[in-house]
Structure 1
Amino acid sequence: MRSDVPLVVTEGNYLLLDHGPWAAVRDLLDEVWYVETDESTRLDLLVRRHIAFGKDAVTARAWAHGSDQRNAELVAATRHRTDVTVRINHSVPDAAPHAQAAGPS
């Protein structure tokens, strides 16, 4: 990476894992933000996304509650390695989400 670049933003579900090939990533990051929403909203949005990309509703729900859920639990277990937690509030249907930063996690 070039040293004259003031900011690089990246995202990734597995960037904070402390084992395997991802283990070295955290030390390369100056600051890490963890973005979350409530579990029912996360699942609802995920099912909607699967449907939008062609899965039927039954398959979309099974996928979201199956392998996607296991991955979400793996990622949530890395939250302690972050600097800031940002909670997205989706309480108003179809409205733009509101973000709230919570201090160091």
Structure 2
Amino acid sequence: MQIYGPNQAHGPQALKGPHFRPNSATGPAPRTQAPDQVEISPAAAEAARLAEAAETRAAEKASTPVRSELVNQLRAQIAGGGYDTAERMDAALSRLLDEIG
């Protein structure tokens, strides 16, 4: 059923569309809209580049073999209290400040 305005109701129509008589003499209307386009901002391009670089680094780290002997040695130093020395803390702080500033 199609309703045109508040006072006009037309009876049932076939389920097959269209429900109007097409004008076959003119054919389909030409497309007048421009095709869709996507523009990526420089900030978004940089964010995508950084995300891809992070994924690449993560994949490289995953493929690097774990040196279990070194890991066990460092765990023993940390457990014994000999790893966190003043020199190591100063070096870590210096690298952090260099990276931030």
TM-score class normalised by the smaller sequence: under 0.3
Which structure is higher in helix share? 2
Greater Rg by CA: 2
TM-score by length of 2: 0.25
| Higher RCO by CA contacts (8 Å cutoff, separation 6 or greater) | 1
